[in-house]
Chains A and B, each alone.
Chain A
Amino acid sequence: DAGVIQSPRHEVTEMGQEVTLRCKPISGHNSLFWYRQTMMRGLELLIYFNNNVPIDDSGMPEDRFSAKMPNASFSTLKIQPSEPRDSAVYFCASSPHFSGLAVGQETQYFGPGTRLLVL
């Protein structure tokens, strides 16, 4: 089985440019999560979706960040305009299903990440 797929693996851009990160969750998983990891703040949840619907975006830093999930097999995280402080590793993760009571549904599987550097 293919795991979570993220692209690109590395992105270097200049301040002010638009950045789009992409994620393909594990087939059959209904929940998708976007995280940001930095040395200072560790792993931070930005937003998560259940059945393609955004459930909680309270971790999104500001209006420059937006995320979409147009279908069950694809999600994007966009930063526009990008700033140097956005430099981090961005992870996408997916989990099996969301029903409220099923044991194991919280288990999240991470992609390899996108390492973003904004100059």
Chain B
Amino acid sequence: GQQLNQSPQSMFIQEGEDVSMNCTSSSIFNTWLWYKQDPGEGPVLLIALYKAGELTSNGRLTAQFGITRKDSFLNISASIPSDVGIYFCAGGRIQGAQKLVFGQGTRLTINP
């Protein structure tokens, strides 16, 4: 099925560094969502974006809904060990099918 192109696939950083990841698509979405999944758990919603150009923060996390509606990015500032996990983007459309399209995930590893 259709998937979003999420990059990078994995990141290895030092504690305290900033992190940036993004998702792109050939299709337009009305909603962009960012989830984090810890080992053995389900994805947890971090940030939801509903308007093109919207920039939203949640603590050290910042995400933007691209103006073209075809992309989104997530930044994490001053990373800490508990940021380790897999981050997924997901795109949604208000009308028509209610399905979310997920990216392949970005696996974040932090060296203390």
Shortest beta-carbon distance from B56 to chain A in Å = 13
B45 touches A107 (CB 8 A): yes
B44 touches A101 (CB 8 A): no
Query: Of the 9-residue stretches B10-18, B65-73, B93-101, which lies at the interface with chain A?
Result: B93-101
Shortest beta-carbon distance from B40 to chain A in Å = 8
The A/B interface has a contact count, at CB < 8 Å, of 69
- With A106-B31, A107-B48: A113-B99 Cβ-Cβ less than 8 Å: no
> Chain B's interface: helix, strand, loop or mixed, by majority?
loop
**Interface: B104 (CB within 8 A):** yes
Contacting residues, chain A, for B105 (C-beta < 8 A): 42
- With A45-B99, A56-B99: A110-B94 Cβ-Cβ less than 8 Å: no
Which A-chain residue is minimally distant from B41 (CB atoms)?
A112
A interface residue count range (under 10 / 10 to 19 / 20 to 34 / 35 or more): 20 to 34
Chain B residues with CB under 8 Å of chain A are 1, 3, 30-31, 33, 35, 40-45, 48, 50, 88, 90, 92-95, 97-100, 102, 104-105
Closest 10 pairs between A and B when the two form their complex, measured CB to CB: A106-B92, A110-B42, A106-B31, A43-B102, A110-B43, A103-B50, A113-B42, A112-B42, A107-B48, A91-B42
